[in-house]
A and B are shown apart, each in its own frame.
Chain A
Amino acid sequence: MYVLIAGGGKVGANLTRSLLRSGNEVTLIEEMSHRFDKLEAEFEHQVLRGDATELFVLERAGIKRPPDLLVAATGDDEDNIVICQLARERYGVVKVIARINDPRNQPYFDLLGISPTVSATGAIMALIEHEVPEHGLIHLLELRKENLEIVEVSIDKNANCQGKRVRSLRLPEGARLISVVRDGKAEIPDEETQLEIGDQVLAILEPGKEDELRRVLLKP
Chain B
Amino acid sequence: MIGCGRVGSAVALQLNSSDWDVSVLDENEDALGRLGESWTGGFLVGHGMDLQTLREAGIEDADAVVVTTNGDNTNLVIAQVAQKQFEVPTVVVRVLDPARAEFYAARGLSIVCPTSAAIESLVVAVRSTEGALT
Contacts and interface: CB of A to CB of B under 8 A. Distances in A.
Contact of A54 (B81, B99, B107): B99
Interface in B76-134: 76-77, 80-81, 84-85, 97, 99-100, 103, 107
A104 B46 CA distance: 15
Nearest to A81: B77
B101 to A, nearest CB: 11
B100 A82 contact: yes
Contacts, number: 47
A53 B100 contact: yes
Contacts of B76: 78, 81-82
Interface residues of A, dominant DSSP: helix
Interface in A90-110: 90, 104-105, 107-108
A55 interface: yes
Contact of A76 (B50, B73, B84, B85): B73
A105 B49 CA distance: 8
Chain A's interface size range is: 10 to 19
A67 B52 CA distance: 37
Contacts of A82: 72-73, 76-77, 100
A112 interface: yes
A90 B103 contact: yes
A123 interface: no
Contacts of A192: none
B74 interface: yes
B71 interface: yes
B62 interface: no
Given A56-B99, A78-B74, 11 more contacts: A53-B72, A53-B73, A53-B97, A55-B99, A55-B103, A76-B73, A107-B51, A108-B77, A108-B81, A111-B84, A112-B80
24 contacts: A53-B72, A53-B100, A54-B97, A54-B100, A55-B99, A55-B103, A77-B49, A77-B77, A78-B49, A78-B74, A81-B73, A82-B73, A86-B100, A86-B103, A89-B103, A89-B107, A105-B49, A107-B51, A108-B49, A108-B77, A108-B81, A111-B80, A111-B85, A112-B84
